[in-house]
Amino acid sequence: MKTLEFCNGVLKLVDQTKLPTEHKIVELSTYEEIADAIKTMIVRGAPAIGVTAAYGIVVAANSINISSTEQFFTELKKACDLIKSTRPTAVNLFWAVDRVYNKAVFNMDKPIDQIIKIIEAEACLMEKEDIDSNRAIGKFGNELIKENFTILTHCNAGALATCDHGTALGVIRSAHEAGKNINVFADETRPYLQGSRLTVWELMEDNIPVTLICDNMAGHFMKEGLIDCVIVGADRIALNGDTANKIGTYSVAVLAKENNIPFYVAAPISTIDFSIECGDEIPIEERNSDEVTHIKGVRIAPEGIKVRNPAFDVTPNKYISAIITDKGIIYPPFNENIPKYKD
């Protein structure tokens, strides 16, 4: 399942705001359009946002019609800053932009047209790396999934959130591909409904048994003994293992701990922010109130009601059983074991 495709200077994205009722591809030819697609969640999911951002820098570079290298980098930096301003929580966004920009800087002595080719190759490499990374996460995570497991997942950390296969859903897909008889419970994930709109759709497309539940039903099914483990994705992981993910993840983690259910985070090493010590340092994006008061443009709450809409929460490391990465499974104590994975 291809979330994005870059061809002839144009970035094609699956418009995830339209799923599951409409499968629409948008074609973006300016970096401003790409920045807006990230901001408005046409594309979402930390790994997919990162690769999209990388291609956004390539598109920006192609649009700069300047012969001066110094001026070229001034304009390129403006594009980087705009794309970085779109969403504050997912670290892959900043990692990807910096990686592409630094690649350009490293080759500053070359002609501009050659610099552009080099950074396009870097963005393409990042897309390939993401696919390989997801497959590796799936392989490692499959070791934790037993026959007849029922897995609860929150939000969407599948192919739609990456370049292919997925992180949390990548583990589920790999277990399914291995022939294990598994079932999935998917939280609907209010307010943006990524679970009901995206995760359920993905799993049904792959003929993986899935049951949709409302977010506030998770505890009930855990208490009934129907959930064997929880697997979620991540938007940013601190050095001590504190993890930012879609709002509601923290509640699921607490419920899992209370019911002695393993709670796993699946994410590539690039989602670890080695510059921050703990989750308190992770910025939390607050989104438009309409996402809470409306569903698909239909108002469901009274006019004038005060609304809070944080897009993410932070799950403290004490609730996390393991972090499944593309380099292996990281177990507690995270503050000792995560730094071992820093390049």
- Give me the average pLDDT of each 10-residue run along the chain (343 residues): 92 97 96 98 96 98 94 97 96 96 97 97 98 98 98 98 97 98 98 97 97 98 98 98 98 98 98 97 97 95 98 98 98 98 90
- The stretches of 85-156 forming alpha helices (DSSP H) are 91-106, 112-142
* Residue 2, pLDDT score: 84
For domain 144-341, which architecture applies? 3-Layer(aba) Sandwich (3.40)
Q: Hey, where are the domains in the chain?
A: 4-134, 144-341
* Residue 222, pLDDT score: 98
* Residue 205, pLDDT score: 95
Known catalytic residue at 215: no
In the set 235, 273, 313, 326, the catalytic residue is 235
Per DSSP, 145 falls in state P
Give the span between the Cα atoms of 140 and 145, in whole angstroms: 10
Q: Is 22 helix (H, G, I), strand (E, B) or coil?
A: coil
* Residue 343, pLDDT score: 81
Task: Find the angle CA(22)-CA(167)-CA(17) to the nearest 5 degrees.
Answer: 20
For domain 4-134, which architecture applies? Up-down Bundle (1.20)
Nearest to 43 by CA among 59, 61, 60, 55: 55
* Residue 206, pLDDT score: 96
Task: Find the angle CA(272)-CA(268)-CA(165) to the nearest 5 degrees.
Answer: 150
* Residue 150, pLDDT score: 98
**pTM to 2 decimals?**
0.95
